[in-house]
Amino acid sequence: MNILDEVKEAGTIGISGHVRPDGDCVGSVMGLYLYLKKACPGARVQAMLEKPADIFSCISQVEELCTDFVPAVEKFDVFIALDAEKSRLGEAERFFDAAGKRINIDHHISNARGSGDVNYIVTDASSTSELVYDVIEDKEALDADIAKALYIGIIHDTGVFQYSNTSPKTLRVAAELIGYGFDFSSIIDETFYEKTYIQNQILGRALLESILFMDGKCLVSMVDKKTLAFYNASPQDLEGIASHLRSTKGVECAIFMYQTDNMEYKVSLRSGGAVNVAEVASFFGGGGHVKAAGVTMQGTFYDIVNNLSAQIDKQLKKGQICTTE
Ligand code: AMP
Ligand code: MN
Ligand code: MN
């Protein structure tokens, strides 16, 4: 796909990504936004997203994101959904639905068919940011600000090139991107590794209160609403906890959940490969990747762990070893 061909007739272009935007979501939306603003000077380009975490304020023009979902345009000629299927766009879904032409660029295996009129879905790509790099065919138009946004997306979805979704191509794209000249070293530190005191405190609690089960193959931990309120923490402060739990020796599958309502939890699943967590999450209406997936579930903590366990057990019994993300 050459994104410029897809939007060349559009007077208005909207861009959005999923609810609770992560680094790949913010990076791909901002990278494409900065590029289209530059490449389509005659068009009105607007990007909308829930307010990104403060760490992403290093991305150029991130303050131009429409975070209240009251854009200047109601019906866009073209609307581009990134890093998500249509149903995860939250408030942006109605603009996607109303648009003259809908484009979906994503790498989630649970969205393999795509939700747009035109789709660019590559389920073994490291990140949507890597895919945005692909669809910008005119590399001459790239600059340090666009490259930085896309690089942030790639490092976040690959855990700084650690996860198995990192391919030789991912590294080649990253190499091209750092060639545009930005301080990649401080970006990795400041947006990925550095945690606030509160974030580390909650991580510590989650590790301390985690429970091993299924003969040590699963590890679960939960943060309730009261604890979140005590630390004045937002969901963005919980990023990385699930992966941290998964890195426990012998653990095939980690479950991290935080309470969103009286009987409702946002669940993050991480796997070392023996459990396809995309299938587990999809079974309950969520989705994601083979080794990292998410879902919102209703019930008590124990109900949810029981329900998830049954599906995880099924996966373990299949005895599959997944090597792709
Ligand atoms: P999380 O644990 O929420 O960070 O999500 C892990 C991965 O699964 C990310 O790539 C998310 O984009 C994806 N994901 C999380 N929740 C859902 C959902 N309800 N539907 C589809 N994908 C999801
Ligand atoms: Mn994402
Ligand atoms: Mn992604």
**Can you tell me the distance from the alpha carbon of 286 to that of 86, in angstroms, rounded to the nearest whole number?**
13
**18 C-alpha vs ligand 3 centroid, how far in Å?**
9
At 321, the pLDDT band (50, 70, 90 cuts) reads: low
Instruction: Work out the average pLDDT over 198-219.
Output: 97
Closest by Cα among 148, 220, 230, 133 to 187: 148
**Can you tell me the distance from the alpha carbon of 269 to that of 287, in angstroms, rounded to the nearest whole number?**
10
Instruction: Work out the average pLDDT over 167-190.
Output: 97
**85 C-alpha vs ligand 1 centroid, how far in Å?**
11
Closest by Cα among 18, 6, 97 to 43: 6
Report the mean per-residue pLDDT for the chain.
Answer: 96
Q: Which atom of ligand 1 is nearest to the CA of 22?
A: 4
* Contact (CB, 8 A) for 14 and 74: no
* Nearest Cα residue to atom 17 of ligand 1: 294
Instruction: Work out the average pLDDT over 181-196.
Output: 97
At 320, the pLDDT band (50, 70, 90 cuts) reads: low
φ, ψ dihedrals at 44, nearest 5°:
-95, 115
Does residue 325 register a pLDDT over 60?
no
* Nearest Cα residue to atom 3 of ligand 1: 294
Render pLDDT for 85-140 as a digit per residue (tens, 0 to 9). Answer: 999 999 999 999 999 999 999 999 999 999 999 999 999 999 999 999 999 999 99
Q: Which atom of ligand 1 is nearest to the CA of 88?
A: 20
Does residue 323 register a pLDDT over 80?
no
74 or 146, which is more confident? 146
**120 C-alpha vs ligand 3 centroid, how far in Å?**
13
Does residue 257 register a pLDDT over 80?
yes
**Can you tell me the distance from the alpha carbon of 157 to that of 126, in angstroms, rounded to the nearest whole number?**
7
**Can you tell me the distance from the alpha carbon of 280 to that of 199, in angstroms, rounded to the nearest whole number?**
27
What is the value of pTM for the model shown? 0.94
State both tokens at 230: 């005590």
Probe target for ligand 1 pocket from 108, 236, 260, with the most ligand atoms within 8 Å of CB: 108
At 38, the pLDDT band (50, 70, 90 cuts) reads: very high
Ligand nearest to the CA of 158: 3
At 297, the pLDDT band (50, 70, 90 cuts) reads: very high
Render pLDDT for 214-240 as a digit per residue (tens, 0 to 9). Answer: 999 999 999 999 999 999 999 999 999
Whether ligand 1 lies within 6 angstroms of the CB of 246 is answered as no
Does residue 143 register a pLDDT over 60?
yes
Ligand nearest to the CA of 295: 1
323 or 177, which is more confident? 177
Probe target for ligand 1 pocket from 295, 296, 298, 308, with the most ligand atoms within 8 Å of CB: 295
Whether ligand 1 lies within 6 angstroms of the CB of 110 is answered as yes
Does residue 31 register a pLDDT over 80?
yes
